[in-house]
Chain A
Amino acid sequence: MPTRRAFLRVSAVSAGGLVLGVRVLGAAVERLAPPVAGAPALFRPNAWVRIDAAVRVVLTVGKSEMGQGVRTSLPMILAEQLEVDVDAVALEQAVPGPDFPNLGTAGSRSIRSLFLPLSKAGAAAREMLVAAAAARWGVEPASCRAESGRVLHPATSRALGYGELVEAAAALPVPGDPPLKRSADFRLIGRDRRRVDGPRIVSGEAVYSGDVRPPGMRFASVIRCPVAGGTLRAFDAGATKAIPGVRLVAPIAAGVAVIADDTWAALEGRDAVAKTVVWDEGENARVSSEAMRERLAEALSNERDGHAIRRGEDALAAMEKAARRIQSEYAYAFQAHAPMEPLNAVADARPDRCEIWAGTQNPNGVQEEAAKLLGLAPSAVTVNVTLLGGGFGRRGTDYVIEAVEASRAAKAPVQVLWTRQDDMRHDLYHPISLHRLEAGLDAAGKPVAWRHRQASVVWTSAAGRPATEQRLRSDLTGAQDQPYAIPAFVAEFVEVPSPVRTGAWRAIQNNHNMFAVECFMDELAAANGADPLRYRLALLRDRGRYDGGRENVPVDRDRLARVLALAGEKAEWGAAGRGSAPGSGRGVACGVYDGYTYCAVVADASTGGGHWRAERIVCAVDCGIAVNPLGIRAQVEGAVAWALSALSTQVTLRDGRVEQATYRDFPILRFREMPRIETHVVPSDAPPTGMGEPPVPVALAAVVNALSAAAGRRLRRVPLAADDLKGA
């Protein structure tokens, strides 16, 4: 298990201020020029805490806010240990550069990776302020304590505000391993805290990248080849002649950019030019969804293909000897992110420098790619990260680089705005996959052998790369580390080439892998006439630990058993009448997200006339210390909505083209369809883990299991097919 030590040092003493640098992720200390005059040369911090004489605390970290609440929860962690009001902590968005070489927001990792460093930073600053006060009073530091931005000496009823102490504190040595408050003494962590950005959002003042307006900015729309991988042959820039406000029509890597005085002119110009564009559609021009399904089925059946992760005994041999064998296939479609804010970015590319405004999860990637494109040093590229109108894994670099290219062509700041149709048709889709699960049961009905064979496309960024152990663990997350104790186990992965670009999508590989595992578990329980919750518990309780997730971290089956039992208890699992009405059903599912967050869901759902509805979701989670319970509940609600949407949406291909265009044919969950949701958080002193993604696949599987119960037949496809629900 990787350890996440925080390194703390005083990095600078500014006028009347205390500045602490924190090295997050404790990697090797690098020998580089100090980022701030006076900083030790060997120390390169990537998070900063500044406290000035007015006791304004500024925390600079590189996490992008996309609705998951990091701008609220991260200051809570610092303020808790620093003993200041959380409102005193302002969060400043880090800008990529030498101090911040590895910004990035993904994988539900923000809280998990920053809890300890920020706690240590807050505690170190607090200890230094206490020491400064004690020195001034000539008393022992241990006789003082910090509270609400002041140091108190109770014995003499004296007090000094942090503002009066920061200068003296800054001259003191930084404690290497400052003591942390015990969780029993927390006054902020564990209490509901509303979103810091709330007031700006409800007033319309919150700034997303599309709201940035540098002087002289122009507006651009880009015509892209409808087939992924196609190339531009010809276009007629003259087509925009009659459209007032169009400034320039320029080819860029992605297609043709129409650059104008406002968005409407850009869109009108785009329509005119689009009629004249000739593409070489390339090799994907004939691909259809049917062809994709055939490719996957073929890959699945070519038994010699693929790579495997094995655990325990030989699964195939154990399968042969099993008393009974059960097999099922599951399918998961391509999915689009469809965030409410279509992709967009603003860039101002000059000959010697470039400034960018983007809602991105990968600011360093943006900086690097923009610098490469423009032939500039990375330090000449400034990336300002705005709020993201939904991220979900989509907001990386491609759309931002389009803005850089368009700005270079226009010699002016340019905003590139994708239309909803662009967003739907040129996404980095969630991979399509097909799964065959097979279990060998012993005479008592317990699985003794397990095989999960999967054919899938992989992320474009990983396509065709060697199937290293690490990559396999990642592609098979949720499958290779399924939580049940099974003595002979194999998970196999066969890569199929993708005709469209693919990438991270909220909950990533766990989406399809946990869906297949958790629905198959229900089939095993049913084959034994067993209760699906108790059947799972028997394979978890007192069954010890295993290594799971992409990073092979220790996972405790008992923690999963506890959330499963809790969800069952809160939902009154097994109580008479529950889920027994005609057309209604109950389902359960559980899982450990990437080895870290434990989650279980009980779902009530109903079917009728080919339609379905989730009625009630009871979710239990163990995410270690619950930093902001209000935010945790929000993430569960959001994850449930994401999962339910996936049961209705999919991206399909015809002649290499994505068929969906807007929310009309990509019907995400609506207001009226939202189920009741209860979230129960297991009290814990364990290090906190992420909540943005973990409930997604668990909720999805629980609802599919509930609908299977309601329909009286197993549902094995995502999205749900109308045929599967007919007659139910």
Chain B
Amino acid sequence: MSRHVFLVNGTKRTVEAPAAMPLLWVLRDRLGLTGTKFGCGVGVCGSCTVHLDGKAARSCQTPISELGGRRVTTIEGLRNEAVRSAWLAEDVAQCGYCQPGQLMQAAALLSGSAHPSDSEMDAAMNDNLCRCGTYLRIRAAIRRAASGDARGS
């Protein structure tokens, strides 16, 4: 057990935890932020995606010991309303479970590339899995968010 101090959604948090404890479980079980989802635990599905200093990161692969002083943003703290609105306008979600991770991944993509091409989207989104098959609508939502058109059709 050791003490770890870092920012979560703009608030300083201090957590006593074993050094190897993944951020995913810190968020869900210690801080009560259950929007970040457990999908695989081995970094192959993207459901647990958060932002670490603004970049997309798999929280299941990020031990708390690496967080010292860093900024964590979760779905609850995502400020990109354009992405959220686009997701609603395209009616992306089916079961919805992977969508917080998809949104965080897409928001990180858009913050680095305001108008991502299809191949940029492919590269950024390909490791975020969705068993319901919402990929076409995710692509459309990213396009919509990039265009700044949040209205529904």
What is the interface of chain A, defined by CB distance below 8 A to chain B? 66-69, 192, 194-195, 197-199, 201-208, 210-211, 213, 219, 244, 262-264, 267-268, 338-342, 387-392, 417, 419-420, 630, 634, 637-642, 645, 662-664, 668-672, 674, 676-677
B29 near A263 (CB under 8 angstroms)?
yes
B136: shortest Cβ distance to chain A, in Å?
6
* Assembly CA distance A338 to B130 (angstroms): 10
Bound complex: CA A198 to CA B138 (Å): 13
The residue from A197, A204, A417, A677 contacting B100, defined by CB atoms under 8 A apart: A204
Does residue B148 face the partner (Cβ distance < 8 Å to A)? no
When the two chains form their complex, are residues B76 and A203 in contact, meaning their CB atoms are under 8 A apart? yes
Tell me whether B8 is interfacial, beta carbon within 8 Å.
no
A204/B36 contact (C-beta < 8 A), A66-B95, A194-B91, A387-B96 known: yes
Q: A202-B103, A262-B25, A671-B138 are in contact. Are A662 and B91 (CB under 8 A)?
A: no
Contacts of A630 in B (CB 8 A): 91
Chain B residues closer than 8 Å to A645, beta-carbon distance: 131
Contact present for A213 and B32 (CB under 8 Å): yes
CA gap between A573 and B68 in the complex, in Å = 60
B97 at the interface (CB under 8 A from A): yes
B35, A389: Cβ atoms closer than 8 Å: no
Which B residues fall within an 8 A CB radius of A? Answer: 1, 17-18, 20-22, 25, 28-30, 32-42, 44-45, 47, 74-76, 78, 84, 87-88, 91-100, 103, 121-122, 125-139, 152
Given contacts A213-B32, A640-B133, contact A340 B91 (CB under 8 A): no
CA–CA, A534 and B94, complex, Å: 36
Question: In the bound complex, how far is the Cα of B95 from the Cα of A392, in angstroms?
Answer: 10
**CB–CB B97/A638 < 8 A:** no
Whether A637 pairs with B42 at a CB distance below 8 angstroms is no
Contact B129 A663 (CB under 8 A): yes
- Among B18, B37, B130, point to the contact of A264 (Cβ < 8 A): B18
B95 near A677: Cβ-Cβ < 8 Å? no
Contact A210/B38 with A263-B29, A637-B136 known, Cβ cut-off 8 Å: yes
Of all chain B residues, which has the CB nearest A634? B94
Q: Are A201 and B91 in contact (CB under 8 A)?
A: no
- Chain B residue at minimum C-beta to C-beta distance from A204: B35
Q: Are A638 and B22 in contact (CB under 8 A)?
A: no
30 pairs, CB–CB < 8 Å, chain A vs chain B? A67-B94, A194-B152, A202-B87, A202-B100, A202-B103, A204-B75, A204-B76, A206-B96, A207-B34, A210-B28, A210-B34, A262-B25, A263-B38, A264-B17, A267-B41, A340-B97, A340-B131, A341-B97, A342-B39, A389-B96, A417-B38, A638-B94, A641-B130, A662-B44, A663-B129, A671-B138, A672-B122, A672-B125, A674-B139, A676-B136
Q: Which residues of A contact B1 (CB under 8 A)?
A: 244
> By CB atoms of chain A within 10 A, which of B33, B92, B97, B100 has the most?
B97
CB distance from B126 to the nearest CB of A (A): 5
**How far is B36's CA from A339's CA once the two chains are assembled, in angstroms?**
16
Task: Output the least CB separation between B19 and chain A (Å).
Answer: 11
Looking at the assembled complex, report how far the CB atom of B26 sits from the nearest CB atom of chain A, in whole angstroms.
8
- Among A204, A210, A244, A392, max chain B CB count under 10 A is at A204
8 further interface pairs, Cβ-Cβ under 8 Å (given A202-B84, A674-B133, A674-B135): A67-B132, A195-B91, A206-B96, A263-B25, A264-B17, A267-B41, A390-B131, A638-B133
Q: A162 to nearest B CB, angstroms? A: 28
Instruction: Provide the residues of chain B in CB contact with A392, threshold 8 Å.
Output: 131
- Chain B residue with Cβ nearest A205: B35
Q: How far is the CB of A271 from chain B (nearest CB, A)?
A: 12
CB distance from A528 to the nearest CB of B (A): 35
Taking the nearest CB of chain B, how far is it from the CB of A93, in angstroms? 16
- Which chain B residue has the least Cβ–Cβ distance from A263? B25
The answer to whether A342 touches B38 (Cβ under 8 A) is yes
Min CB distance A415 to B, Å, is 9
Which A residues are in CB contact (< 8 Å) with B132? 67, 340, 390, 638, 641
Residues B28 and A671 in contact, CB atoms below 8 Å apart: no
Give A341 to B36 CA distance when docked, in angstroms. 12
Chain B contacts of A663 at CB under 8 A?
Answer: 40, 44-45, 129
| CB atoms of B44 and A195 under 8 A apart | no
Give 5 nearest A-B pairs by CB, closest first: A204-B35, A641-B133, A389-B97, A67-B95, A67-B94
Q: Please name all residues of chain A whose beta carbon is closer than 8 Å to the beta carbon of B91 when the two chains form the complex.
A: 192, 194-195, 198, 630, 634
**Contact call B95/A341, Cβ cutoff below 8 A:** yes
A206 to B75, CA, bound (A): 11
Q: How far is the CA of A680 from the CA of B49 in the complex (A)?
A: 35
Residues A198 and B87 in contact, CB atoms below 8 Å apart: yes
Q: Which of A389, A662, A668 contacts B42 (CB 8 A)?
A: A662
For B21, the chain A residues whose CB sits under 8 A away are 262, 264
Residue of A nearest to B121 (CB): A671
A51 to chain B, nearest CB (A): 28
Identify the interface centre among A197, A205, A206: most chain B CB within 10 Å of its CB.
A206
Contact of B93 among A201, A641, A671, A672 (CB under 8 A): A201
**Which partner residue on chain B sits nearest A260 by CB separation?**
B29
Bound form: Cα–Cα A669–B138 in Å: 14
Residues of the A chain whose Cβ atoms lie less than 8 Å from the Cβ of B94 = 67-69, 634, 638
In the bound complex, how far is the Cα of B130 from the Cα of A474, in angstroms? 30
- Quote the shortest CB–CB distance from A694 to chain B (angstroms): 15
* Residues of the A chain whose Cβ atoms lie less than 8 Å from the Cβ of B133: 637-642, 669, 674
Q: How far is the CA of A587 from the CA of B87 in the complex (A)?
A: 33
Shortest C-beta distance, A244 to chain B (Å), equals: 6
Q: Across the interface, which residues of A come within 8 angstroms of B99, CB to CB? A: 201-202
A268 — which chain B residues lie within 8 A by C-beta?
Answer: 18
B37 pairs with A203, CB closer than 8 A: no
Instruction: Decide: B88 and A671 in contact? CB cutoff 8 A.
Output: no
Q: Are B29 and A340 in contact (CB under 8 A)?
A: no
By CB atoms of chain A within 10 A, which of B93, B99, B126, B129 has the most?
B93
Q: What is the CA–CA distance of A642 and B129 in the complex, to the nearest angstrom?
A: 12
> How far, in Å, is A392 (CB) from chain B's closest CB?
8
The smallest beta-carbon distance between B62 and chain A, in angstroms, is 13
Q: What residue of chain B has the Cβ atom nearest to residue A213's Cβ?
A: B32
Cα A207 to Cα B103 with chains together (Å): 17
- Distance in Å from the Cβ of A646 to the closest Cβ of chain B? 12
Q: Which residues of A contact B138 (CB under 8 A)?
A: 671
Q: Would A671 and B128 be within 8 Å (CB), given that A204-B35, A204-B36, A419-B41 are in contact?
A: yes
Complex Cα distance A197/B127, Å? 25
Asked if B29 contacts A219 (CB within 8 A), the reply is yes
Residue of B nearest to A261 (CB): B29
Which A-chain residue is minimally distant from B29 (CB atoms)?
A262
Give Cα distance in the complex from A204 to B121, angstroms: 22
Q: Are A637 and B137 in contact (CB under 8 A)?
A: yes
Residues of A within 8 A of B41 (CB): 267, 419-420
Q: Which residues of B contact A417 (CB under 8 A)?
A: 38
Given the known inter-chain contacts A340-B97, A388-B95, A634-B91, please indicate yes or no for A670 contacting B38, CB distance below 8 A: no
Bound Cα distance A671, B28 (Å) = 27
Instruction: For the complex formed, measure the closest distance between the CB of B114 and the CB atoms of chain A, giving whole angstroms.
Output: 20
A208 to B133, CA, bound (A): 19
**Chain A residues with CB below 8 A from B136, complex form:** 637, 674, 676-677
| A340:B22 contact, CB within 8 angstroms | no
Q: How far is the CA of A91 from the CA of B96 in the complex (A)?
A: 18
Q: Are A420 and B40 in contact (CB under 8 A)?
A: yes
Q: Report the separation of the CA atoms of residues A263 and B41 in the bound assembly, to the nearest whole angstrom.
A: 11
Q: Which residues of chain B are near A263, meaning CB under 8 Å? A: 25, 28-29, 38
B76 touches A420 (CB 8 A): no
